Each structure stands twice: as structure tokens, then as C-alpha cells.
Amino acid sequence: MKAPVSGLALAALMLAAASSKVWAAPDVTFDYTSKFGQFGFLQFPPNGFGRATGVAFYTADELLIADYGNSWLQRCDIDGANCEWFGGFAARRNTPGVFDRPHGVAVREDGMLAVADEDNHAVQLCELRRFCLYSGDQITEDNKPSTALGRWAFPNDVDFNAEGQVFGLDTGNNRIQILSADDLRVRRVFMSGGSGLGQLDGARGLAVAADGTVVISDTGNHRIQLCDTGRPVNCTAFGRRGSGPGQFESPVGIEVDHLDRIWVADTGNNRLQVCDREGSCTVLNSGSDYEFNAPHDVAVHPSGKVAVANTEDSQILVFRTDAQAPQPALVNAGFNDAWFNPDTAGQGVFINVFAELGQVFVAWFTFDAERPTADAPALLGEAGHRWLTALGPIDGNRAVLQVALTEGGLFDTRPPVPTVTGEYGTLELEFVDCETVLMRYELPVLEAAEGTVTLSRVIDDNVALCEALKAP
């Protein structure tokens, strides 16, 4: 399930949600694009699925598919070409990287995968084709479900929150377990069995919205629940059993998209529904080019691409919906300039923003922490001159850069070839506005290793460009 969404997109969505008391109406564009797949075991014929039950966007053009019947995952181009599989059933169960009827999948922004490994009674966190961490019982061979913390009973779905924690839907135990982002330690367990608010009956679908709301496809209760993770947990619900808009028949897969719309695989009714948080829903039925047959999952990418696991036909259906509106560039090429602190004139930095690459480069021209002796040699410049460079990724209005030290060269001469020492320290840039940047440094080589410099432009010629590029 679920597509990785950038931190900037999450921040924008949370801001929009907080500024309005009425959630967006479920107006939806839904245009059929293509389909691929057919029933097949051991990937024969090609693009064969032994029942596709889970789907997520690995990238905008690649899908990750839970191939339930073949007990492996497949990664395919969105047109169905170039599929590869990994995992697969093995005689030795309860083993990281080995699956037994995986039902749900999710992709984190850093590319890590979470898998609801149903018949192994486990949740796995994997790096594609490399390694997996395992939450479940790896000791006993009988592979029985359990109610203990960190143990599972037929988990059906998984998702990540904005902090990267894993939310696992423990279907057989009618509960949700929250696991740490790096080592799958249990952080929280909530929900119980029943039909009241905060209770589940064989729930099979789960999604975490940008604001942290947990949205659950409460399958046996034929409804959708929305819960926070407070103490106590507060839940609301909409839907009941039926075939009208906002009514469900054993819903399974669920997704919250970039526009905060709730997509539901209304499995028993052979359709999708797109709902707002109030429970107002738009029904999406089969069309002339495709037919929904017990769809078990739906994934939506911010680019507007939609993938549906059409389970009983062993197919993936692809559609187009409304794309995320372009977000203003909080950090843009208008910041490319010479910057300095007026209190320490004579030293400063060049900032270079590579917006399309999502990177910032800094050259810092400064002095040594102690003045050299008067007879310290310097053929060019001054013996106390120092310069450092740093590079790092943009994240919202910030960037954390790794500082590098280049040494061993001579003026306009090669050889000797200079050497570069990476991880010499770190810089954190906070782009406060188009006229102010805070630069926090950590340089372990210095006695006073940490500090903050408030930077201003040397001249203001690029301020107008910066403001124009930030405008929506």
C-alpha cells in the first residue's frame, strides 16, 4: 500500500488540514490507463500472480506487489514490464526475507519496505533484495499465532507514519502494533475486538494519514474507522453494510492520498469508493475497459497515478486521478549568493542551491581558530586563511550538509593531487526567509565545536528572485 511522500508534501498537507474545519469533498478524476497480469504460479507466464493482494508505489513508475499465492513480492514497471521477484516460501519458516502469503506492503520515503507476512504471523522491514528485520516468533517451528507483544496473528496490512515508524494491522488479534523505525521494537499496542469505536472485527486494511490519523478498513464491521494515537485513543467511524454510497461490503484495502481523500477497496461490492473524513463517498464502478473483481488494495501516487490490486483476476489496474498541486520551492535558486555575518565582516560563505537535484553546496571562507605566529609562512594569501566546503540534501526549509576538508594541493598546480577528507563536521542551514539564513556548525576538531551564525546577503539583488520562486 501507500506511496512514499516527501517531507515537504506532508508539511503542506498538514498545514492545509489544520487551517480548515471541513475536509475536502471527494471530487475525483478517475481515468483508466492500463492493466497487466494474469493468474500464474512461479511467475509463469510472465507477470503472473497467484493472487495480488497488496500494492504500493516503489517510485512514481514502479510498483511493489504482494503476490499472495506465490509467497513473494514482485517489483514491476507500472506498465507491467520488467518484473522481478524476491522473497518466496521456504521449508524453513519464520526466517527474515522469506514470506508465507504476504498480504500487505508499504514503502517508506527512504525506500525501505514493510510487509504484512500473514501466514508467518510476522511483520518484516526490508531493504529491497538485501536484508530484512523480523517482528514475530523466530524461535518455535510450529508457527502459531500469538497475543504476546511483538507477536502476530495473521497480520494483513502495514504502513509508515511521517517519523518512519511501522504500523502493523494484527488482524487475528484485532489490534494495531506500532513498531520503531529502525529495529521493530514494539512502541505501542492499541484497539481490541468488538463493534464499538476503537474496536475491530477482522480488520484487513490500514493507512496512516499525513497528520498521523490511523485510517482502518474495519472489514467485519463493514465500516471505516479514523483513530488518533493519543491516550486514550479517540476514534470516529463512518459506513455500514450495504451497496449504496458510503456503505461497504467487507472492505479490505485503504489509502489516504496526497489530497487527504480516503480510497477504499470495497471488496465485497466489487468497486472502489473515495471518501472524505465525514463519510461522504464517491463510488467508482467497473468501466468498459476493466472490471473490478474483489479488489483488495489501492495505492495512489502524488503524481496522480493509481494502482489497484484486482485480486480475483490476478491483475493490476492502473488509472489517473488528480495530481498534487505544485508546491512552492521553499529553498530555491534565489538563495544563490554571497552571505556573511556583519559582526564578523571579512569572512563569509557562498551558498549554491541545486533545486532540481535537491542539494545545497556551501563554500565557507573563514580564519583559523587561533592566529598564526607572525613568521608563519604564506607565499599566497595569509597564513590564517581557512576554507571549507559542504554538501547536503534539502528537507523543507532546511539542509544538513557534510563538511569536507581539501588539503595537499598547490596553487594552480597539478600534481600533487589534493585529498578530500569527508565527514570533517556538519553544517545545518535553516532558510528563515529570503534575507536570512541560520548556519549551525559542528566541527569536532575545534575546542568550541558548535555554534550558530546568522547570515545576511552581501547585496540584495537576488531577493526578488527568491520571493518569486517561493510564490505558489
Look at residues 90, 169, 92 and name the one whose alpha carbon lies nearest to residue 135: 169
pLDDT exceeds 80 at position 4? no
| Mean pLDDT, rounded, for 235-255 | 98
Grid cell in block for residue 469: 520562486
**All structural domains of the chain:** 7-320 (2.120.10.30), 333-470 (2.40.160)
What is the number of other CB atoms lying within 10 angstroms of the CB of residue 334?
19
Which tens digits make up the pLDDT trace of 46-80? 668 889 999 999 999 999 999 999 999 999 999 99
pLDDT exceeds 50 at position 18? no
Q: What is the pLDDT of residue 17?
A: 38
| Mean pLDDT, rounded, for 168-192 | 96
pLDDT exceeds 90 at position 327? no
**Summary mean pLDDT of the chain:** 89
Calpha distance 150→125 (Å, rounded): 14
Q: What is the pLDDT of residue 448?
A: 72
Instruction: Compute the half-sphere exposure of residue 10: CA atoms within 13 Å on the CB side of its CA.
Output: 19
Q: What is the pLDDT of residue 374?
A: 86
Which tens digits make up the pLDDT trace of 333-388? 999 999 999 999 899 999 999 998 999 999 999 998 889 898 898 888 888 899 99
Q: Among 140-149, 326-335, 406-415, 416-425, where is mean pLDDT lowest?
A: 140-149
Q: What is the pLDDT of residue 79?
A: 92
266 within 8 A of 275, measured Cβ to Cβ = no
pLDDT exceeds 60 at position 131? yes
Calpha distance 105→308 (Å, rounded): 13
Name the phi and psi angles at 133, rounded to 5.
Answer: -100, 150
The DSSP-derived string for 370-416 is SPPPTT---SSS-TTEEEEEEEEEEETTEEEEEEEEEES-BTTB-SS
Q: What is the pLDDT of residue 45?
A: 55
Q: What is the pLDDT of residue 21?
A: 35
| Mean pLDDT, rounded, for 434-458 | 91
Calpha distance 352→362 (Å, rounded): 6
Percent of the chain whose pLDDT exceeds 90:
68
Higher pLDDT, 216 or 109: 216
| Mean pLDDT, rounded, for 301-308 | 95
155 within 8 A of 118, measured Cβ to Cβ = yes
43 within 8 A of 56, measured Cβ to Cβ = no
Q: What is the pLDDT of residue 141?
A: 56
Q: What is the pLDDT of residue 93?
A: 65
N residues, the chain: 472
pTM above 0.75?
no
Calpha distance 355→460 (Å, rounded): 20
Residues 6+ apart with CB under 8 A from 441: 403, 425, 426, 427, 428, 450, 451, 452, 453
Name the phi and psi angles at 166, rounded to 5.
Answer: -95, 125
Q: Quickly state the pLDDT bin for 434 (edges 50, 70, 90).
A: very high
Q: What is the pLDDT of residue 10?
A: 40
Q: Helices (H), strands (E): how many in the chain?
A: 2, 36
Q: What is the pLDDT of residue 129?
A: 72
Dihedral sign computed on CA atoms, order 171, 175, 180, 186 = negative
Residues 6+ apart with CB under 8 A from 440: 427, 428, 429, 430, 450, 451, 452, 453
Q: Quickly state the pLDDT bin for 96 (edges 50, 70, 90).
A: confident
pLDDT exceeds 80 at position 15? no
pLDDT exceeds 70 at position 470? yes
| Mean pLDDT, rounded, for 130-150 | 78
Residue 165's alpha-carbon distances to 160, 180, 252, 367, 445, in angstroms, are 5, 5, 22, 43, 35
